[in-house]
Structure 1
Amino acid sequence: MSSMTPSRRGFLQTTAAASLASTLPPLGHAATANLPGQPAKPVTETALQWLDGQPPARFEGTTLGVPWPRGQVRKPAAGQALQFRVAGANLPVQSWPLAYWPDGSLKWTAHAVGGGAPAAGLKLEPGASLAGNLSVKQSDAQIVVSAGDLSWTIPTRGEHLIAEATRAGRVTLKAVKLVALRQDGAELEGEGGVARQAFTSKVTAVTVEQRGPVRAVVKLDGMHTASSQAKGRDWLPFSVRLYFHAGSDSVRIVHTFIFDGVPAQDYIAGLGVTAQVPMTDASHDRHVRFSGEDIGVWGEAVRPITGLRRDPGQAFKDAQVAGRALPPLSGMAKTVQDGLKWIPEWNDFSLSQAHADGFSVRKRTAAGHAWIDANAGHRTKGLVYAGGASGGVALGFKDFWQRAPVRLDVRGAATATAEVTAWLWSPSAPAMDMRSYRSAGEMDTFQEQIEGLNITYEDYEAGWDDAHGVARTSELVLWALPATPSHQAFSDMAEQVANPARLVLSPQRLHAAAVFGDWDPADRSTPARKLIEDRMSVQLDQYLKEIEQHRWYGFWNYGDVMHAYDADRHMWRYDIGGYAWDNSELSTDLWLWTSYLRTGRADVFKMAEAMTRHTGEVDVYHLGRFKGFGTRHGVQHWSDSSKQPRVSNAAYRRIYFYLTADERCGDLIRELLESDADIDKVDISRKLPKDPARASAPGLPNASFGTTWGSWIAAWLTEWERTGDKRWRDKLVNGMQSIGDLKRRWFAGGAPYDAKTGKFEGPGDHVSISHLNGVFGVIEMSSELLTLVDVPAYRKAWLEYCRYYNAPRAELTALLGKDPGKLNLADTGSRMTAYAAFHEKDRALALRAWREFFSSNALKGDGRTRRIGGVDVLRPLDEQPGISTNGSAQWGLAAIQNLALVGDSLDEAAKAAGLVS
């Protein structure tokens, strides 16, 4: 073997030369000398950056995760808090451990930064933080979260999430609860009728997860229950987290519900969050605000005094437009004073975003009277305010127009108590339809189902295309304000709802901690590197553009992308079986997240975040017979009958969890810890032919190494890192060791699996090679695992598989004793070749990896698009005719890993291939 120069990845991934932390007991031997190179240097500076590049105009607080090289940061001693401060701004910080290295030192820490005046040039440093003023007091009946003169009261049972919020003792907000409308049939298409039933939240459990002094988190679980006037069952389980930050007037609400209805009987006609607002000001001093287009604001008074036949005086008009209390009415023109009582009081207001391309604003004087059109626009950020000079409430939610149909309501603004509602599903839209798109009686026999699969690429069997158990998470912000905000302040608030300010780390700082496997920061320092980096950027840009061009929006759809393109129609194959929604196929999520890690691009982060919020919730079952499994790609997110752990894979959520310390994402990962025990309850192989030679024994179902076991290991690794619980380390090691002990090792492809021990059984003497075994995260996870646990048998098996998967046919045949036939995805497999080349210091193998990578067509063009317009399309678009999500994701992941592992041989390989001069 020839010598290779260690890459930067190798330099950084070995043990840090800092003092080892450890009040934890040893968690097992860590393979700290797996990679060549010198020990990684301790991190000396942690600069914080704003995701969008500049400090926001308004900052309500945020939380971020920070990784550390192995051995650098000690776990605090018992009874001591983890202490960090933010230098460069007067912002308090609350810190806690998030994950540990095998030696017990801190791998990830989480940091909640309080609201206040944001600044640039911030740094995270060890040391005592500024004091936060957030406190939590708990009794059997309620929890009170306070900061300064603002207090929030949370009942421990009942229908309310928040009973009231007070400012300096005045009740500004009360009766925050969830609301839902159930409809017993679909929208009418002829004669007949449908009935609606109202539901409200019923809290069954409350947990205080954090108590301040900078951040408090309260989790509420429950069901939606029928209102007292109607009979019905409880349904739609929910989990809501309330996030409070010091220095903020708001509470962030993370709202998750699970659909547990019968699709043909239970139609959600409305789903929302509502709050009551005491209205004590005179009606001319009461105001309603809606966010408009871009930074715009729509603002009016309940009783307007502008535009009258008689002029009240400029000071009065200016005050009302600004949202301030009017000057004493004694200074107003007498004719206007006398005529105030005849000016209509507008009681109800609505902003309805019926679809991604348009919203309208209406108002009326009272129920039973006509609505008056006020204005309309394209897209709004989704914030509403109701209140007056003495205080009020603002409520809005993220991804507002992207998830249309949605609505914001104010009701009762002219009465003593107004109600503000954010409708996550608008009652004015057609009811949510969760039924199968297929006609009754389709493909009743196995033979028909096979024929259908062969033509549409979607697996189907009656009853398996079921939405029962899918979920959706939404993020809202609720303010209790001391007065009506100015138009500018309200616009800044709307920006925080739509685009929350985030503090992040640079790619270089993330990379210095040696986390998340083989990647390095984007680098265009040589012609060959620039060629690959530019091509990766082009492909990311195209997908960002495709979201808008093809309107991949809507309550259940936003965050996902399509699978395959139809250049004849100039459309993605949205209606063709398994070619429609992608549902994480071939690790699209990992491609986006790893691309963010190495570039720090805000637009890529936001696309990946939306995908994580979608794929982890909508494409995965959270209750019922398929719990823990995800659905293969299809026309609807739940329509394919193949239910697979490769879709519910925690590897697709894990990066977001660690970057943000997001509790809901952490829940999703923990949901999967025991899902391997159900592998024998759901036949994930579906209509694939069964091999009699590999028949499974009772309790030992066959499981593939990549698509199945490889989809479980990320959850186990994450739990071990989070808790130090050896059970999950042992389960990982058992699986790795048993694969290494099989005769054919990784080339067996799979084996009978014992969920109780995590071991594979049997001789493993057959050969089964599938390109799918390496494309659902197991390559990335194996890279991480082999730096954390030392399992020589697995290391040998994995290096063997990596070296020979793409090997010349004669070499592979000699190894296996049989010709395995043609293998697919040579360019994707090149990263396995690169892994073996790096670890075995084989430069010839590294050059082979690049030849394999160059075998695709990705670099033979420049990714240019063609403009399609006129009568051929619904709207003009920029098209890449050969675009494929499978190809884009896997090519991108291969490029990233190859650059990190064998980047030092790229220029030589690219010149030999004629790609650069």
Structure 2
Amino acid sequence: MVHSVVFDGSASKDFVSALGVRASVPVKDAALHDRHVRFATDAQFFAEGVRPLTGLRRDPGIAFKAAQVAGRAVPPLDAMAKAVRSTLERIPAWGDFRLDQPTANGWTITKRTAPDYGWIDADEGHRAPGLAYVGSPQGGAALGVRYFWQRHPTALHIDGATGDDAALTAWLWSPEAAAMDMRPYHGTMGMERFDAQNEGLSVTYEDYEPGWDDATGIARTSELMLWAFPATPDTALLQEMARMQAEPPQLMIAPEHLHAAQVFGDWGLPDRSTPNRAAIENQLSNLVDFYAGEVDRRAWYGFWNHGDVMHTYDSDRHRWRYDIGGFAWDNSELSPDLWLWYQVLRTGDAKTWRFAEAMTRHTGEVDVYHSGRFKGMGTRHGVQHWSDSSKQPRVSNASYRRPFYYLTADERVGDLLHDLITSDQTLTTVEIGRKVPNAAKKLALPAGTIEMTFGTTWCPLAAAWLTEWERTGDVRWRDRVVAGLDSIGRLPKGWMTGSAPFDLASGRFVDQGRGVQVSHLNAVFGAVEVSAELIRLLDVPRYRAAWLDYCRWYNAPQVAYLARFGPPFGPRNLREGHSRLTAYAAFEDRDAALATRAADEFFSGDAGLGTWPSDPRHRVDGVLEWPGVSTNASAQWGLAAIQNLALIPEALDRATIVAPDAPGRRRQGDTGRD
């Protein structure tokens, strides 16, 4: 069962008290001592009868006890010890059972005989896998919830087990927990105007705007398993079911086959054949292991949080900046989703798969609006997943869902991808650059157009249109992609223009004779990856030339750049991550000198994570840390590492790794407005 909920309330007054899925299980044909309750736990399996026959002062007989424990019908009562048979009605029958998981690190089981009577503690433990059963020898049902403890507060309740029908409920948000609170986490603080909001951005990195920190329209999908049985199953079978539904078996195509098919752009299979390649491969593995471990060490769990990671580390507090503006939840900033999926494609590693899957489930739903005024947009990184006022396609990005969809044919993610094909219409009322006056904005926009950046807006939209064409064969979406590609290629400065008016009807960019406008963010939200796919799939020579030009010149030395384009030579950031653009141009143009430059850019670690010759993880005050870590840097290093290994392996072999802690090396940072 796939259960999706879209929050369509008003966060200031609507508080969801509980959210669940319930099954009704008939038990009236079974005696109370033949009714069975089961909960899967991370310790002893909880298996009890509604009216227990074990542990009594009087022994009913071994056959009766064994049958009840095993979940079978007990023998005929005339064989039961008379002292028990004649007093069965004096044994309390338990009608209601609760397994509650209020946090990721603790569950409890309680039970009571009936409403208005007290609850009795039965058991407790750490992390329950999320499966319950109620039934009898005449039949029963089991209900399981995936990500049960990871998405707390959850619960499994059985009610009315002494009546004709037992209610089996999987609570995705437990009624025992505090009501779901979707309110913004702070007030206006004097930031009614753009100038004050930009001041807030400069100090906390949060792009705040009153009314835009709205949760209305975000969603969450849960996966459940429901089984109907002709009789109570053996405990061993229920244990296997619990393990399976908590971590379902997953088919994975062999990486060698995927690589031979040349899908998803530029990546290669793991290669440790030289010292430099081995260092890169080791760090790719170590970095995923570090982040997957951080999820557990930092308890990045909860109904709305599970699947996301934090954006930036605070080395002073030795914790991630969970409470500091735009440094808190990552919300796909700089493509960690793609980094993880490319590592899955090349390795088939199960741990990386599970990590990437949880992220895809989260970022495609919680970080994206599915209804309302922001429909189709995603929210920039913030303290709450919906709190930042920057609503953009760079986060709702179809590129981040494509690998998971094509590896699984998951129907829910397919629906999410389909929903994005008209999200450009939302940009007619949600102006991304409204707070940043610049020369391009001052130019009058032709009728029917909106201002659109190539990398952070058009490329995510193009990925959605590409996917719709691939899935349906509808050539309208192919033609819309081609229109964008061709029109970018026809601009005098091509991709170097950065942004231009986009005609919503035709899907073409309009030439206004603009000059060069380079942004360090334009290529790092899937533009590299989707451009590689589009160039391989569609024959649009002008776009290929424009993209290769951008790849060659973004990281170019200042002297060469000024000789080519003239002043100004604006600030550059993320040089390490952009090395893969240089590598792409080197590979396509068979330019050995450019390949050498790309390798040097990558190993310089400039404005990036850097490549460590050995595992840099160490403990500080008992806390495991990776020096200088941020998810921006990690994701971009990971993508650059994977793509450089595929495009310029020999150049990497010849280059020198600059240790990240070398004197004078510029550390990664967020410079300039994003």
Does TM, normalized by the shorter one, top 0.5?
yes
Give the distance between the partners of 1:877 and 1:401, measured in 2 at CA: 24
> What is the CA distance between 1:738 and its match in structure 2?
0.6
1:854 aligned onto 2:603: yes
Give the distance between the partners of 2:537 and 2:192, measured in 1 at CA: 49
Pick closer, same or farther for the CA change 1:820–1:333 going to 2, 3 Å.
same
> What is the CA distance between 1:355 and its match in structure 2?
0.6
> What is the CA distance between 1:281 and its match in structure 2?
1.1
Question: Which consecutive aligned stretches of 4+ in structure 1 deviate over 6 angstroms post-superposition?
Answer: 911-915
Kept in 1: contact 2:612–2:659 (CA 8 A) = no
Per-residue deviation, residues 366-421 of structure 1 (Å, max 9, x unmatched): 01110111111111000010001111000011000001111110011011111100
Q: Which moved more, 1:436-445 or 1:465-474?
A: 436-445
Kept in 2: contact 1:386–1:392 (CA 8 A) = yes
Match of 2:262 among 487, 490, 514: 514
Kept in 2: contact 1:562–1:885 (CA 8 A) = yes
Match of 2:482 among 720, 723, 733: 733
1:761 aligned onto 2:476: no
The within-5 A match list for 1:119-518 is 253-279=1-27, 280-293=29-42, 296-439=44-187, 441-518=189-266
Give the distance between the partners of 2:546 and 2:643, measured in 1 at CA: 20
Task: For 1:811, give the aligned amino acid.
Answer: A
Per-residue deviation, residues 38-62 of structure 1 (Å, max 9, x unmatched): xxxxxxxxxxxxxxxxxxxxxxxxx
Pick closer, same or farther for the CA change 1:722–1:276 going to 2, 3 Å.
same
The RMSD of aligned alpha carbons is 1.6
Q: Identify the residue that residue 455 of structure 2 maps to in structure 1.
A: 706
Pick closer, same or farther for the CA change 1:911–1:753 going to 2, 3 Å.
closer
Task: For 1:674, give the aligned amino acid.
Answer: T
Kept in 2: contact 1:549–1:877 (CA 8 A) = no
Give the distance between the partners of 1:825 and 1:321, measured in 2 at CA: 62
Task: For 2:69, give the aligned amino acid.
Answer: V
Q: Which moved more, 1:856-865 or 1:332-341?
A: 856-865
Give the distance between the partners of 1:664 and 1:820, measured in 2 at CA: 45
Task: For 1:862, give the aligned amino acid.
Answer: S
Match of 1:574 among 305, 313, 322: 322
1:777 aligned onto 2:526: yes
Question: Helix, strand or coil for the counterpart of 1:272?
Answer: strand
Task: For 1:889, give the aligned amino acid.
Answer: A
> What is the CA distance between 1:678 and its match in structure 2?
2.4
Any unmatched runs of 5+ in structure 2? 662-674
1:799 aligned onto 2:548: yes
Question: Helix, strand or coil for the counterpart of 1:554?
Answer: coil
Match of 1:899 among 645, 651, 663: 645
Question: Helix, strand or coil for the counterpart of 1:854?
Answer: helix
> What is the CA distance between 1:440 and its match in structure 2?
5.1
Match of 1:908 among 651, 654, 667: 654
> What is the CA distance between 1:652 and its match in structure 2?
0.5
Give the distance between the partners of 1:537 and 1:703, measured in 2 at CA: 37
Per-residue deviation, residues 96-122 of structure 1 (Å, max 9, x unmatched): xxxxxxxxxxxxxxxxxxxxxxxxxxx
Identity %: 57
Give the distance between the partners of 2:653 and 2:185, measured in 1 at CA: 51
Kept in 2: contact 1:769–1:820 (CA 8 A) = no
Task: For 2:96, give the aligned amino acid.
Answer: D
Give the distance between the partners of 1:886 and 1:440, measured in 2 at CA: 28
Any unmatched runs of 5+ in structure 1? 1-252, 870-875
* TM-score w.r.t. length of structure 2: 0.95
> What is the CA distance between 1:910 and its match in structure 2?
4.1
Task: For 1:845, give the aligned amino acid.
Answer: L
> What is the CA distance between 1:495 and its match in structure 2?
0.7
> What is the CA distance between 1:819 and its match in structure 2?
3.0
Task: For 2:109, give the aligned amino acid.
Answer: V
Give the distance between the partners of 1:608 and 1:795, measured in 2 at CA: 30
Match of 1:887 among 621, 627, 633: 633
Task: For 1:859, give the aligned amino acid.
Answer: T
Kept in 1: contact 2:610–2:659 (CA 8 A) = no
Give the distance between the partners of 2:12 and 2:128, measured in 1 at CA: 33
Pick closer, same or farther for the CA change 1:677–1:439 going to 2, 3 Å.
closer
Kept in 1: contact 2:497–2:517 (CA 8 A) = yes
Give the distance between the partners of 2:660 and 2:369, measured in 1 at CA: 48
Q: Identify the residue that residue 418 of structure 2 maps to in structure 1.
A: 670
1:608 aligned onto 2:356: yes
> What is the CA distance between 1:913 and its match in structure 2?
10
Kept in 2: contact 1:745–1:764 (CA 8 A) = no
More helix by share: 2
Give the distance between the partners of 2:17 and 2:604, measured in 1 at CA: 52
Give the distance between the partners of 1:723 and 1:302, measured in 2 at CA: 53
Kept in 2: contact 1:743–1:763 (CA 8 A) = no
1:867 aligned onto 2:615: no
> What is the CA distance between 1:802 and its match in structure 2?
0.9
Q: Identify the residue that residue 812 of structure 1 maps to in structure 2.
A: 561
> What is the CA distance between 1:441 and its match in structure 2?
4.8
> What is the CA distance between 1:722 and its match in structure 2?
1.1
Question: Helix, strand or coil for the counterpart of 2:86?
Answer: helix
> What is the CA distance between 1:879 and its match in structure 2?
1.6
> What is the CA distance between 1:340 and its match in structure 2?
1.2
Per-residue deviation, residues 819-856 of structure 1 (Å, max 9, x unmatched): 32231111111111111111111111111110010110
Q: Identify the residue that residue 133 of structure 1 maps to in structure 2.
A: none
Per-residue deviation, residues 11-47 of structure 1 (Å, max 9, x unmatched): xxxxxxxxxxxxxxxxxxxxxxxxxxxxxxxxxxxxx
> What is the CA distance between 1:710 and its match in structure 2?
1.1
* TM-score w.r.t. length of structure 1: 0.70
